Amino acid sequence: MTRQLTAPVVVTFGVLGPVIAATERGPVPLRGHRQRLVLGRLLIAHGRVVPVDRLVDDLWEVPPDGAVGAIRTFVADLRRALEPDRPPRQPPGILVTEPPGYVLKAAPETVDAGQFEAAVGQAARLLAAGRPGSALAALETALGLWRGPAYADCANESWAVAEINRLNELRMLAVERRAEALLAVGRPDDAAADLPAHLASHPLREDAWRLLAVARYRAGRQGDALAALREARHVLVTELGVDPGPELRRLEADILAQAPHLTPPPERAATP
């Protein structure tokens, strides 16, 4: 009798919001906050081994008696959830034991953060190649992957702070590059509408203020463009005690002078 081989189930992971896992069958059940922390900690290691003692220290400020056994239980439960059809004697293929701990075998394209980074990188290359329409599509795909704060379940954990900050910085850059792409395809009104919410959360982003002023100017709102630059100056002086950088100062002078380079020719603006 010929033995039928079944294709392995592909598991995808989400960290751009609460930590989740899913297959084509639907969401993978994750039981309890600490199990999510274990999964988040393994994902944040990006394919590197996380020692058992590190997991213990990261999960408990004061580890209880039996903490190592609890980690083993969390891992065993995760393995069953991630590979429910794995035969009992078959070694796990996703959450693997590698001394002195465990490693999660998750390719970047199976994690929403990896997909996000790839799309943002693709958009940067498309913008540099003069293809803003394609860049805009890539950026909208990238930003659409976010479901909430990155690693939302792990926000209070010291081991997650650096990765959360890195992803947040990349998200802010993506929002600003999206505005740049909107301007390049001749949609200044859309760029001007999107940026105030971004600046309300991140008021020290000088490039976002620059883009907002340019967007308002190209939308025929010279006064509002200058108002944005005045607000940028006020925020920077109040929060940091510094004046705007030379780029914002030059932009203010160019807007006052209605410099021709601020409004590109229509055919350039419409390049896909």
DSSP state of 135: H
Phi/psi-derived region of residue 26, left when phi > 0, alpha when psi is between -120 and 50, beta in every other case? left
Residue 165: predicted pLDDT: 98
How far apart, in whole angstroms, are the C-alpha atoms of residue 121 and residue 176? 14
pLDDT above 80 for 7? no
Q: What is the mean pLDDT of the chain?
A: 93
Other CB atoms within 10 Å distance of the CB of residue 255: 20
pLDDT above 90 for 263? no
Phi, psi values for residue 187, rounded to 5°: -120, 60
The total of structural domains in the chain comes to 2
Closest listed residue to residue 208, CA positions, set 251, 241, 242, 254: 251
The answer to whether residues 50 and 101 touch, using CB atoms and an 8 Å cutoff, is yes
Residue 260: predicted pLDDT: 94
Residue 9: predicted pLDDT: 74
User: Using one digit for the tens of pLDDT, what is the confidence trace for 40-67?
Assistant: 999 999 999 999 999 999 999 999 999 9
pLDDT above 60 for 187? yes
For the entire predicted model, the pTM comes to: 0.91
User: Using one digit for the tens of pLDDT, what is the confidence trace for 216-246?
Assistant: 999 999 999 999 999 999 999 999 999 999 9
Domain stop point among 48, 77, 107: 107
The answer to whether residues 11 and 43 touch, using CB atoms and an 8 Å cutoff, is no
> Worst-scoring range by mean pLDDT, 78-87, 126-135, 149-158?
78-87
Q: Which domain holds residue 209?
A: 187-272
Amino acid at 83: E
Domain stop point among 63, 89, 107: 107
* 194-202 average pLDDT score: 97
Instruction: Output the domain CATH number for residue 245.
Output: 1.25.40.10
Residue 222 lies in a domain: yes
